[in-house]
Amino acid sequence: MPLVTARQLLDEAAKGSYGVGAFNVNDMEQIQAIMAAAEETKSPVIVQASRGARAFAEDRYLYHLMLAAAELHPNIPMALHQDHGNSFDTCKSAIELGFTSVMMDGSLKEDGKTPSTFEENIEVTRRVVEYAHPRGVSVEGEIGVLGGVEDGHGAGGSGLEHLTDPDQAVEFAERTGVDSLALAIGTSHGAYKFTKKPDGSVLKMDVLIAIHKRLPHTHLVMHGSSSVPKDLQDIVNKYGGKLKQTWGVPIEEIQLGIRHGVRKINVDTDCRLAITGAIRKVFAESPEKFDPRDYLKPAREAMKKVVAERMNEFGQAGHSGDYSPISLAEMAKGYQSGKLDTRPSLATSR
């Protein structure tokens, strides 16, 4: 199946009341792990790359790995998504490369660290939408600022400093026309999200629910949503790691979000922990090993297991064969005609 837009996957997820995991990649083994999990669970999937990943893997390598994945897994609907684009130029370059979906994270300035103003965010996000939609490419925006830093991106803090305001979320959706909207509800980038199992004092699911009631036609996105399972932490530490105990976003909270409009869930840290634990285990138990295949194969399998678990937990498992791909050209026609317009004033009238 050719690469499709995240918008098509999220529209179908909304019809089926499930979520779609968006898994970050940097190399071939991670892409293989994601696609093996998608095949095993019969799941549509969003594969996403950050600016750091694009620099690490080099754009052309990364893109052609994705084309290989599409060729080898013709029955899996798959979108290639730019994660946390920091500028119009970053998103434009992703679209020119062949990404089918982009995120313009205008919640931060171009340095990827300093919070921007509401008007600055609207202006740059709207500019990306105006460039992407005529090319059939879907756009994710963000309002509010997540906590933590990962891959050099983030403002730091706990995640509670710049929560999404529901009134601003509605205005943002109206003025930008984004396909999906990432919310700041207390989650953070990286492994160290919470110092205890999160409750309503640090994870503001009530904000998410309030926004969904007002934006029923805009797909919501949960960033910083790795669950950081203790068993994965324990494996890393058992074989020489020194992770401090931490808590991620419980699966039941993500599932609550899915019941209230969350259609895309970003997962990265869980995959990193699985890979690292598996590699540490090989090095500790078989220090004579030096063939990269001896540790990359179990690392790939460990990540596949985590991804498959999330696909089942998010509800996307079993839905890979539900629909046929829509080309970028057809998506562009849908945007031009207004059929795919998500702005509240227009979407609610249809």
- The end-to-end CA distance of the chain, in Å, is 30
Q: Is the pLDDT of residue 1 over 50?
A: yes
**C-alpha pair distances (Å), 111 with each of 91, 190, 230, 299:** 15, 18, 33, 33
Q: How far is CA 58 from the centre of its chain?
A: 20
Give the model confidence (pLDDT) of 212-271 as tens digits: 999 999 999 999 888 999 999 999 999 999 999 999 899 999 999 999 999 999 999 999
Q: What average pLDDT does range 177-192 have in this prediction?
A: 87
Catalytic residue among 11, 27, 59, 83: 83
The predicted structure's pLDDT at residue 187? 82
Using left for φ > 0, alpha for ψ between -120 and 50, and beta otherwise, residue 283 falls in: alpha
pLDDT tier for residue 156 given thresholds of 50, 70 and 90: very low
Whether 83 is catalytic is yes
305 has a pLDDT exceeding 80: yes
Neighbours of 282 (CB within 10 A): 17
Question: Considering only CA atoms, which of 297, 306, 310, 308 is closest in space to residue 235?
Answer: 306
Q: What is the pLDDT of residues 44-95, one digit of tens each?
A: 999 999 999 999 999 999 999 999 999 999 999 999 999 999 999 999 999 9
Burial 133-160 (b: 16+ CB within 10 A, else e): beebbbbbbbbbbbbbbbbebbbeeebe
pLDDT confidence tier of residue 193, bands split at 50, 70 and 90: confident
Confidence bin at 115 (pLDDT 50/70/90): confident
- Token look-up 């403002």 returns 155
User: Mean pLDDT in the chain?
Assistant: 92
**Angle CA 217–174–8, to nearest 5:** 40
Q: CA dist 277 to 30, 32, 295, 303, Å? A: 15, 18, 10, 10
CA distance linking residue 312 with residue 258, whole number of Å = 13
- Count of other CB atoms within 10 angstroms of residue 118: 15
By CB atoms closer than 10 A (0-12, 13-18, 19+), residue 62 is buried
Enumerate domains of the chain plus CATH numbers.
Answer: 6-325 (3.20.20.70)
Segments in 218-268 forming alpha helices (H): 230-238, 251-259
Phi, psi angles (nearest 5°) of residue 180: -145, 160
Q: Is the pLDDT of residue 101 over 70?
A: yes
Phi, psi of 84 (to 5 degrees): 50, 55
SS3 162: strand
Determine which helix (DSSP H) or strand (DSSP E) holds 143, and give its type and residue range: strand 138-143
d(CA 156, CA 145): 9
Percent of the chain with pLDDT over 90: 82
* DSSP assignment letter at 261: T
Percent of the chain with pLDDT over 70: 94
**C-alpha span between 116 and 110 (Å, rounded):** 9
Q: Tens digits of per-residue pLDDT, 139-155? A: 999 998 765 445 554 44
